[in-house]
Amino acid sequence: QKEVEQNSGPLSVPEGAIASLNCTYSDRGSQSFFWYRQYSGKSPELIMFIYSNGDKEDGRFTAQLNKASQYVSLLIRDSQPSDSATYLCAVRAGNNRKLIWGLGTSLAVNP
């Protein structure tokens, strides 16, 4: 079983819809969770991080964490073509532990 698993996609949504990206992880001791966006040919950029169970909102983005079920998701409301990118999930067991990365989910937002 992969340590951090994401559906590779591509996930295709129409402009204005909600895009839902999911990530599951195997280490029950994981404490911090990160979502990065990577445009083709560019480096990953941080979207948001979450530590506590529940939802965390930042603009059009909402991260949802469920430690009991070992998943973290990212919702993108009012999706725009500029949101088309690969979204990477990363998980850390503690403050000084290595980040474990998923392979990423490719998102395509169609005008």
Footprint of other proteins (CB under 8 A)? 4, 31-32, 34, 42-46, 49, 51, 88, 90, 92, 95-96, 98-103
If the CB atoms of residues 13 and 70 are measured against other proteins, the closer one turns out to be 70
Rg (CA), the chain: 13
CB 15, min distance to other proteins, A:
27
CB 102, min distance to other proteins, A:
6
**Exposed, middle or buried: residue 61 (CB in 10 Å: 0-12, 13-18, 19+)?**
middle
CB 99, min distance to other proteins, A:
7
**Exposed, middle or buried: residue 54 (CB in 10 Å: 0-12, 13-18, 19+)?**
exposed
